[in-house]
Protein backbone atom coordinates (compact mmCIF):
# COMPACT_ATOMS: atom_id res chain seq x y z
CA UNK A 1 0.00 0.00 0.00
CA UNK A 2 1.32 3.43 -0.92
CA UNK A 3 0.63 6.80 0.63
CA UNK A 4 -1.73 7.57 -2.27
CA UNK A 5 -3.66 4.34 -1.56
CA UNK A 6 -3.96 5.35 2.07
CA UNK A 7 -5.27 8.80 1.05
CA UNK A 8 -7.84 7.09 -1.19
CA UNK A 9 -9.01 4.90 1.74
CA UNK A 10 -9.40 7.95 3.99
CA UNK A 11 -11.29 9.80 1.24
CA UNK A 12 -13.67 6.87 0.82
CA UNK A 13 -14.57 6.84 4.54
CA UNK A 14 -16.77 9.91 4.44
CA UNK A 15 -17.51 13.32 3.02
CA UNK A 16 -13.87 14.32 2.65
CA UNK A 17 -12.16 15.80 -0.35
CA UNK A 18 -8.93 14.25 -1.53
CA UNK A 19 -7.08 17.34 -0.29
CA UNK A 20 -8.57 16.95 3.21
CA UNK A 21 -7.55 13.29 3.27
CA UNK A 22 -3.99 14.22 2.19
CA UNK A 23 -3.80 16.72 5.05
CA UNK A 24 -4.95 14.08 7.55
CA UNK A 25 -2.43 11.48 6.34
CA UNK A 26 0.41 14.04 6.17
CA UNK A 27 -0.41 15.30 9.67
CA UNK A 28 -0.31 11.77 11.04
CA UNK A 29 3.08 11.04 9.46
CA UNK A 30 4.55 14.41 10.44
CA UNK A 31 3.39 13.91 14.03
CA UNK A 32 5.07 10.51 14.26
CA UNK A 33 8.28 11.85 12.67
CA UNK A 34 8.29 14.90 14.95
CA UNK A 35 7.87 12.77 18.05
CA UNK A 36 10.70 10.45 17.00
CA UNK A 37 12.97 13.44 16.29
CA UNK A 38 12.23 14.68 19.82
CA UNK A 39 13.16 11.21 21.13
CA UNK A 40 9.57 10.58 22.23
CA UNK A 41 7.68 7.33 21.89
CA UNK A 42 4.48 7.02 19.84
CA UNK A 43 2.10 4.31 20.99
CA UNK A 44 -1.07 3.45 19.06
CA UNK A 45 -3.15 0.88 20.93
CA UNK A 46 -4.01 -2.14 18.84
CA UNK A 47 -1.41 -1.19 16.20
CA UNK A 48 2.02 -0.82 17.78
CA UNK A 49 4.63 1.62 19.00
CA UNK A 50 7.31 3.68 17.32
CA UNK A 51 10.52 4.65 19.10
CA UNK A 52 14.15 5.24 18.33
CA UNK A 53 17.02 2.96 19.22
CA UNK A 54 20.65 3.88 19.58
CA UNK A 55 23.17 2.10 17.38
CA UNK A 56 26.76 2.22 18.58
CA UNK A 57 29.63 3.22 16.36
CA UNK A 58 31.44 0.37 14.70
CA UNK A 59 34.04 -0.43 12.10
CA UNK A 60 32.59 -1.62 8.81
CA UNK A 61 34.09 -2.56 5.47
CA UNK A 62 33.59 -1.10 2.03
CA UNK A 63 32.31 -4.14 0.10
CA UNK A 64 33.91 -2.96 -3.14
CA UNK A 65 37.44 -2.28 -1.89
CA UNK A 66 37.50 -4.13 1.43
CA UNK A 67 38.76 -0.94 3.09
CA UNK A 68 37.86 -0.38 6.76
CA UNK A 69 35.29 2.36 7.31
CA UNK A 70 34.26 4.01 10.58
CA UNK A 71 30.46 3.94 10.91
CA UNK A 72 29.34 6.60 13.43
CA UNK A 73 26.79 6.05 16.19
CA UNK A 74 23.24 6.95 15.24
CA UNK A 75 19.62 6.74 16.27
CA UNK A 76 17.34 4.63 14.09
CA UNK A 77 13.53 4.40 14.08
CA UNK A 78 12.07 1.14 15.37
CA UNK A 79 8.50 -0.19 15.15
CA UNK A 80 7.16 -2.83 17.51
CA UNK A 81 3.77 -4.26 16.48
CA UNK A 82 1.10 -4.81 19.11
CA UNK A 83 -0.07 -8.29 20.05
CA UNK A 84 -3.37 -7.63 18.25
CA UNK A 85 -1.56 -6.74 15.02
CA UNK A 86 0.73 -9.76 15.24
CA UNK A 87 -2.26 -12.04 15.88
CA UNK A 88 -4.24 -10.58 12.97
CA UNK A 89 -1.32 -11.08 10.57
CA UNK A 90 -0.68 -14.60 11.83
CA UNK A 91 -4.13 -15.85 12.95
CA UNK A 92 -3.07 -19.46 13.57
CA UNK A 93 -0.21 -18.44 15.84
CA UNK A 94 3.30 -19.77 15.70
CA UNK A 95 3.39 -23.51 15.45
CA UNK A 96 6.15 -25.42 17.13
CA UNK A 97 8.45 -27.41 14.91
CA UNK A 98 7.74 -31.14 15.20
CA UNK A 99 10.67 -33.22 16.32
CA UNK A 100 11.79 -35.85 13.84
CA UNK A 101 12.99 -39.25 15.01
CA UNK A 102 16.61 -40.09 14.31
CA UNK A 103 17.07 -42.09 11.15
CA UNK A 104 13.95 -40.79 9.40
CA UNK A 105 14.02 -38.58 6.36
CA UNK A 106 12.34 -35.28 7.34
CA UNK A 107 10.33 -33.38 4.73
CA UNK A 108 11.24 -29.72 4.52
CA UNK A 109 7.90 -27.79 4.51
CA UNK A 110 9.49 -25.02 2.44
CA UNK A 111 10.87 -27.41 -0.19
CA UNK A 112 8.58 -30.45 -0.47
CA UNK A 113 9.72 -33.37 -2.62
CA UNK A 114 8.87 -33.38 -6.32
CA UNK A 115 5.84 -35.41 -7.32
Given a cut of 60, whether residue 56 has pLDDT beyond it is yes
- Out of 3.90.180.10, 3.40.50.1820, 4.10.520.10, 2.102.10.10, the CATH code matching 42-90 is 4.10.520.10
Band the pLDDT of 115: cuts 50, 70, 90: low
Given a cut of 80, whether residue 104 has pLDDT beyond it is no
CB 43 within 8 A of CB 51: no
Given this model, what pLDDT does residue 20 score? 94
What is the C-alpha separation between 81 and 44, in angstroms, rounded? Answer: 9
Domain segments of the chain as ranges = 1-40, 42-90
Contacting residues for 85 by C-beta, under 8 A, at least 6 apart = 46, 47, 48
Taking only Cα atoms into account, the Rg of the chain, rounded to an integer number of angstroms, comes to 23
Given this model, what pLDDT does residue 26 score? 97
Band the pLDDT of 64: cuts 50, 70, 90: very high
Amino acid sequence: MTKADLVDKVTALGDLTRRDAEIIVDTLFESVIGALKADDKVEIRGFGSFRTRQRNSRIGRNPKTGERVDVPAKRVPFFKPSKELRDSVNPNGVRSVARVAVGTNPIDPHHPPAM
